[in-house]
Structure 1
């Protein structure tokens, strides 16, 4: 009997939250097992890929995901239950941003071409510049990172001088993101209609 009630509790906790108003580009790949929840608008751009178990949450503010972004499995983008200070704040991923597995992105903005590696936390109000790299398991709270910043080790910082000074390197990074997305489009079954109906 107790195992049956435990099963009921698990089912109740798995009930999805409200479905937000969504604007999803037809070329986006949204896994059937991705979760989009909240009450504020969610905008998902061209060629975006949401992996299985990726979560977009707009409970306290809108979420905008620019074209060519990838949100990995078990990664969360958006504010769910933030302090009142950040109520109504939009969480935005600019173009060609990668958010890897298990990361939590509540940042106000993550700039074009930036990579948020696995199990990283970007807290509310954080602004990440363009072509930044935040290495795995980092935690950044209430801070602005300039363009081309690399965060590594115990929250050490350096500037990626090569990417900063060479437009060909920046172009190659963006091209690599498109190649990655082309591969994912063949691997991740999409069900965008689930969120538009």
Structure 2
């Protein structure tokens, strides 16, 4: 499958030389990144294998590094991080500052970590300091506030807001605003992602011994894998045959 190569120094980031700095970017060669994704900041942004970044997504690494795991989908107009402020663009003193002048206290880093198989919906916002664990889903227009911790296989529904704190594993946040929470049905022993991937590669069904309560979630992950493959082909211009 054709894939878009990681952005080079000429990759568009919608910032001029006089504007906000471009964030250092390290993307796996198998990642698919739309040409008009914005990468700004002073900390590094890392994109994992087979992750798909939709057009007009924005990454603001002004308060800490951003790490995106393998197999994620970052949808259109999603915002990861926070736009720059006058104090967040630089943490070091000006080169013209004399040694006798007071130097600013180093700022605390607020790293954003998004683990593998996470889906971030369109126009959603992930603020600095957030950790989203594996296979979680953040739907469209959701807001995850600073310092929040979203557990594995959790789901934050459209237009909900998680104002810090934690959302447990397999918990669904639904409704409007802070919303309500409930546990998703699951089995005691999940199927590992390796087993799911092997079944998908071989185009075979999941093992017959798979716990009934986990089959739906594993099927969802398999569908997401297919979705990533299709998105990769859609975002990459067709290669003309000579």
- TM-score interval, smaller chain: 0.7 to 0.9
Counterpart check, 1:37 vs 2:40: yes
C-alpha RMSD of matched pairs (Å): 2.3
Alignment of 1:46-61 (within 5 A): 46-61=49-64
Q: Which runs of 5+ in 2 are unaligned?
A: 1-13, 89-106, 190-212, 238-242
**Deviations 1:1-39 (Å, cap 9, x if unpaired)?**
xxxxxxxxxxxx964521122110000011001111111
Query: What is the CA–CA distance in structure 2 between the aligned matches of 1:153 and 1:164, rounded to whole Å?
Result: 27
Q: Which runs of 5+ in 1 are unaligned?
A: 1-12, 191-197
Aligned counterpart, 1:130: 152
> Which one has a larger percent helix, Structure 1 or Structure 2?
1
Counterpart check, 1:141 vs 2:163: yes
Count of residues in Structure 1 that have an aligned counterpart in Structure 2:
177
* Cα drift, residue 72 of structure 1: 0.8
Q: Which has the larger radius of gyration?
A: 2
Aligned counterpart, 1:189: 236
Query: What is the CA–CA distance in structure 2 between the aligned matches of 1:81 and 1:108, rounded to whole Å?
Result: 17
Aligned partner of 1:119 among 124, 135, 141: 141
Counterpart check, 1:177 vs 2:180: no
Aligned partner of 2:25 among 22, 25, 43: 22
* Cα drift, residue 153 of structure 1: 0.9
2:220 match: secondary structure: helix
Alignment of 1:66-145 (within 5 A): 66-81=69-84, 87-106=108-127, 108-145=130-167
Query: What is the CA–CA distance in structure 2 between the aligned matches of 1:42 and 1:152, rounded to whole Å?
Result: 30
Alignment of 1:4-15 (within 5 A): 15=16
* Cα drift, residue 168 of structure 1: 3.1
- Greater shift, 32-41 or 102-111, is seen at 102-111
**Deviations 1:72-127 (Å, cap 9, x if unpaired)?**
1110112445899x941110110011111100012521111111100110011000
Moved over 6 A (4+): none
> Which one has a larger percent strand, Structure 1 or Structure 2?
1
